[in-house]
Structure 1
């Protein structure tokens, strides 16, 4: 999740924080191809041209949380960090934490929390009272086709009595994010698919799926 000068990376048991203010050039010679860190007078990043420093992390201080997927909600007030938990059974957690737009960090311990009534959720994003969920559908096995393993894209309008709408999702469904903050920007959901041979970045009109 990119938020101002911060990059949030979900790492299952924590969220690592990286800063766009701390990006440095690295050596790309053969000496650095398999090295990370300082080697002689050189700074190495496994052959990559740049190093981005980790400046912090977020871990759960109370009950265990699994940081499977994260996204940013700019429609809610204040901005919110959206965290989804992956589980092969219904009942995985969904949380939204307030963000401080000046520090680009969580502003307090206040959060919204839900228990998701469906399984295998790989991506969640929200726009205040609008919620989208992307669930995976398994991997092709003998006798199956890709159509047998498509994921599901779900929408919920945030009301306890509302029905969840369901559409066909990607094969190897992954994360969700929303882009479009003013009238000149597209109202777009972005998602990913992860299985070898079927990997892609997919953009769809959010208004067609709510």
Structure 2
């Protein structure tokens, strides 16, 4: 056997031995995903028409969503695990409501402006879903505590969800502020884009 042939055989044996011993690094886990339902802008048909919202006639509409986190796969490593998750954002149609009288008496411009505002709340829910996926991707979980640790990440993001919803309403509707709404619209666009690029580089 000549020297070149020997080196090729030796390299092949070394590579096979590495595969068997597990010293070749594992492929990193998939990056997780966010699913949104409905995956489009909301329209008034997505809202339940009611006489009164939360016992007061001054509320024209309300948009409520849920975020359910599903573990798709647990990726084991020598001293930790990585989680691959799906954050499922779902509009709650029975809880997302619009005042029937508001739809009857308001002009098209006003209805469009209120619907646009409610879509902002739906964007906030999506932002929280992406942030949860991002935070989970960057976390090395204890193999015996990963469910508790995941719940901690979710709870922390849900606190921020509540805070963002409150800030959004306070700055754009109390009283109505078109400039503030524009700033929030820009935030929704840039934040969602940035999160998607961070998760799926």
TM-score bracket for this pair, using the shorter chain length = under 0.3
Q: TM-score scaled by structure 1?
A: 0.22
Report which of the two has the higher share of helix: 2
Q: For the pair shown, which has the larger CA radius of gyration, 1 or 2?
A: 2
Q: TM-score scaled by structure 2?
A: 0.23
